[in-house]
Structure 1
Amino acid sequence: MTLPRIVRTRIRHVRRRPIHHEFGYHSYSWLVDLDELPQLPGLLRPFAQFRSADHAGEPQCGLRANIDAYLAEHGISVPGGRVLMLANARVLGFVFNPLTLYWCHDRAGAVACVVAEVHNTYGGRHRYLVRTDPHGNAIVAKDFYVSPFNAVTGNYHLHVPEPDRQLHVAVHLRDPAGSTVFSATMTGAVHAADTATVLRALVAVPLAPLLVALRIRWQGVRLWARGLPVVTRPQERI
């Protein structure tokens, strides 16, 4: 059994070209075992709910069942191995997860693979199967439309080591020529999700998923106002 944890995060986005633009903000995420999802007491329950419908897969199935089914499609089986999920919870009926990470362990406790689930602001969802090296690094080809200012080309260079006391995630988008177009980092300290920690996070960042969605849209408006061209959105796979 893995007790639920909260990560008090610092998120930073840097667009390097064709124009330079960067911003950062504080938030928090949950780090939970899909076999032991947290159930907050009484009045706190509406501030942290985890639903399959909020993620890729079949909404009528559990989160763990959906991940197992996805892994099976790729010939991977982790019976008896835990799956840790880093995500935003649903807060007062609203949720938005730009990036959800799943660390999938084998029976011996080693990380067999990582699943990176990306959500865009148009309601689309897509999963990447990530085979990391011992340091948590991997490269995957981009094949999902996220930002209206980036084409669906190039590669993501990922740094996604499993967090212990600290979280350090980095995503760098490089174009086909190898030049870095965009970088995002998420760092922070990992805390046991006791009642006091949950309350502090709720007070520090109220309605966190809504704020994340609003910030992303506002930064998009700023980029559009600066003349950054919009890339036509292709038909999405959901």
Structure 2
Amino acid sequence: MEALYLLCSVASTFVTSSFLSLSLAIRAIPLFLSRVFCSPAPEAGGGGSSSSENDCDAAVWLYEGRVRHARRRPVAHAFEYPVRYALIDIDRAPQSSHLSAERAREIAHTKGPVFLLTIPANLGYEQNPLSVYYCYEVTKEDIQEGGSTPCLKMCIAEVTNTPWGERVCFIFSPGTDVVTKPLHVSPFMDMLGTWCMFADAPGEDLSLVISVQHPILGNYFTATLRAKRVHSSSDSIFIEKYFWLMPHKVAMWIYWQALKLWWKNVKFLDHPKYLSSRYRDDAVLRNRELLTQSTGQSTNLPHCTSNMDLKDRWCVWREAPWPWS
């Protein structure tokens, strides 16, 4: 049934995206003509606009980079693909399918700005295996000095498991942190892994790394995003063009690599909800045990510690809006 539903969604997405691509091309014509006939010539020695030229005024920063997955056991399998992301000031450009800035600050217990790193929906489709909220703190010194850069205090991960249509959000500390796996993301991984999360404050460059520690397979999987800021913009048509078919490409790469793993005879695992209706409660209990036993102590993952001074980590599941993002 899930396979049939997936095929129907693929067909529906193809038709919708084709129609919206044509619409985007028509709407982009005036923008193209204005740039051809009205753009001032670049100054001598100049190379066009800088990626940081209007950063202070922009609500969206555009990044370009690569995602790499490396699996070491039970079989070796690695791949990487180019990707584009947006870093969005969600106080100024709210995202309806994501948390609001107010809700993110409430969760993270911060008072500063909140930025969302995500792949925006494009042509009626959204595909985001992982989005991250960067929650900054404003101190008394920031207020007194005026213009001081707020510090990154907390991150919120938003993980979605296509094609099951589930989404989980949980907090983690910037730098490094560990969390027990809360969601069935891949049918080729069970629920016993621990995620080592690394995130730095996004600037000209950004990095995200998730390593998986398993009680049997050890440190057997790493996913990495490395990206550079290439532009800032508030022009909706430009952003739509920049991300043209980006969500579709991510989905295609995910399913193609899943097919390769299946071909390599990696065991296919059903969603744990078919085995137990309490699989989410089990994840919470495993994480509570992790926080109790390893707070401030290193795990079997190098340079990875739990920095949470909490007995419970905020973690909430909900259904992902269709088309699954």
Inter-CA distance 91–201: structure 2 relative to 1 (3 Å threshold): closer
The aligned residue for residue 198 of structure 2 is 159
- The match for 2:245 among 190, 207, 226 is 207
- The match for 1:12 among 68, 72, 89 is 68
How far the C-alpha of 1:177 sits from its partner, in A, is: 5.2
Secondary structure of residue in 2 paired with 1:52: coil
Q: Unmatched 5+ residue regions in structure 2? A: 1-55, 140-149, 274-279, 281-316, 319-325
Inter-CA distance 200–119: structure 2 relative to 1 (3 Å threshold): closer
Give 1:97-136 correspondences, 5 Å limit.
Answer: 97-108=128-139, 109-121=150-162, 122-132=164-174, 136=175
Secondary structure of residue in 2 paired with 1:193: strand
- The match for 1:36 among 83, 92, 103 is 92
The aligned residue for residue 220 of structure 1 is 258
Tell whether the 8 Å contact from 2:70 to 2:78 is kept in structure 1 after alignment: yes
Tell whether the 8 Å contact from 2:105 to 2:114 is kept in structure 1 after alignment: no
User: Partners in 2 of 1:25 and 1:35 — Cα distance?
Assistant: 31
User: Partners in 1 of 2:133 and 2:120 — Cα distance?
Assistant: 14
How far the C-alpha of 1:77 sits from its partner, in A, is: 2.4
After superposition, what is the alpha-carbon deviation per residue over 1:7-40, rounded to whole angstroms, capped at 9, x for unaligned? 1011111111101111111110001111011xxx
User: Partners in 1 of 2:120 and 2:75 — Cα distance?
Assistant: 33
User: Partners in 2 of 1:2 and 1:151 — Cα distance?
Assistant: 45
The aligned residue for residue 146 of structure 1 is 185
How far the C-alpha of 1:111 sits from its partner, in A, is: 1.7
How far the C-alpha of 1:191 sits from its partner, in A, is: 2.6
User: Partners in 2 of 1:225 and 1:92 — Cα distance?
Assistant: 32
Inter-CA distance 179–201: structure 2 relative to 1 (3 Å threshold): farther
Inter-CA distance 177–28: structure 2 relative to 1 (3 Å threshold): same
Secondary structure of residue in 2 paired with 1:218: helix
When normalised by structure 2's length, the TM-score is 0.59
Is residue 78 from structure 1 mapped to residue 110 from structure 2 by the alignment?
Answer: yes
Aligned length: 208
Is residue 186 from structure 1 mapped to residue 186 from structure 2 by the alignment?
Answer: no
AA paired with 1:11? Answer: V
After superposition, what is the alpha-carbon deviation per residue over 1:190-224, rounded to whole angstroms, capped at 9, x for unaligned? 1332389x859946x63101110111011111111
- The match for 1:91 among 97, 109, 122 is 122
The aligned residue for residue 173 of structure 1 is 212
User: Partners in 2 of 1:130 and 1:177 — Cα distance?
Assistant: 25
Secondary structure of residue in 1 paired with 2:260: helix
AA paired with 2:255? Answer: R
AA paired with 1:52? Answer: S
Tell whether the 8 Å contact from 2:122 to 2:244 is kept in structure 1 after alignment: no
After superposition, what is the alpha-carbon deviation per residue over 1:215-235, rounded to whole angstroms, capped at 9, x for unaligned? 101111111122110122123
Higher strand share: 1
Q: Unmatched 5+ residue regions in structure 1? A: 38-49, 58-62
Inter-CA distance 99–110: structure 2 relative to 1 (3 Å threshold): same
| RMSD over aligned Cα atoms | 2.4
User: Stretches of 4+ moved more than 6 A in 1?
Assistant: none
User: Partners in 2 of 1:190 and 1:131 — Cα distance?
Assistant: 23
Query: Share of identical aligned residues, percent?
Result: 27
How far the C-alpha of 1:68 sits from its partner, in A, is: 3.7
User: Partners in 2 of 1:123 and 1:31 — Cα distance?
Assistant: 24
Higher helix share: 2
Is residue 231 from structure 1 mapped to residue 288 from structure 2 by the alignment?
Answer: no
Secondary structure of residue in 2 paired with 1:148: coil
User: Partners in 1 of 2:218 and 2:68 — Cα distance?
Assistant: 19
